Amino acid sequence: MDYILSILPQLWVGVANSLKMYFAAILPVLPLGIIFAIAKVAGPKPLRWLLDIYTWAWRGTPLLLQLMIVICGFPFIGIRLPGFIAAAGVFTLNMAAYITEIMRAAINSVDKGQYEACRALGIPYWTMMLRTILPQSFRIALPPACSEAINLIKDTALIAVIGMQDISRVAFQVVNRDHRLAAYIVAFCIYLALTSLLVYIFKRLEKRFTAYD
């Protein structure tokens, strides 16, 4: 127990870095996902094609490869970004691609009668979207979107491969230094606690938004 208490300050550094990466990546995701989803549903055809390519490419390739291309590949063409900003950007674009498709499917699943009723009443398109279609779409999209948000906290472990001090990298360094597996067990428990907290928060959100369905 004394040993675990002695390594906790080092692991908390990793926890802080992982949470910074998580929030830096997730905060822009919902606005981007909503904007891109609406554009895919109602935007001009060239824009829809571009977004189709974006979601196809970012959902169809490994997140680790995307990180390596941006962080290690971009310098070859003269683009050098700070590691944190580059990694957060990759996580954001990757998750936004999934949220875009989730929101697009949710918008398309809203009863077409809702659109026709709004048009019959002369409600402008964006007012219809903001006040009628999107609130219903959120309820439909919330469960799969929450799953993606929970997965992101685990995906942040990938920043270890580019030298950033996340939970898993710090645990690896402590184990290599002390030749004791306790740091891995503590890291396991930390990830489990973080994901369990997110599951609880998102379950409450789902109950709140579906209470009147």
In order of start, what are the domains of the chain with their CATH numbers? Answer: 2-210 (1.10.3720.10)
pLDDT at 48 over 60: yes
CB 48 within 8 A of CB 205: no
> What are the distances in angstroms from CA 112 to CA 4, 27, 107, 143?
58, 31, 10, 22
Please choose, from the candidates 147, 143, 153, 146, the residue with its C-alpha nearest in 3D space to the C-alpha of residue 195: 153
- Measured distance CA(184)–CA(165) in Å, rounded: 15
Q: Which of 124, 138, 154, 158 is nearest to 202 (CA)?
A: 138
pTM of the predicted protein model: 0.86
- Residues of the chain with pLDDT > 90, as a percent, come to 33
Residue 213's pLDDT band (cuts 50, 70, 90): low
Q: What are the tens digits of pLDDT across the range 120-167?
A: 777 887 788 777 788 888 888 888 888 888 889 989 888 887 778 889
Check whether 77 has a pLDDT greater than 60.
yes
Share of the chain above pLDDT 70, in %: 98
Mean pLDDT of 32-58: 92
pLDDT score of 41: 87
Report yes or no: 161 and 67 within 8 Å, Cβ to Cβ: yes
Torsion of CA 177, 178, 184, 189, to 10 degrees: -120
Mean pLDDT score of the chain, rounded to an integer?
87
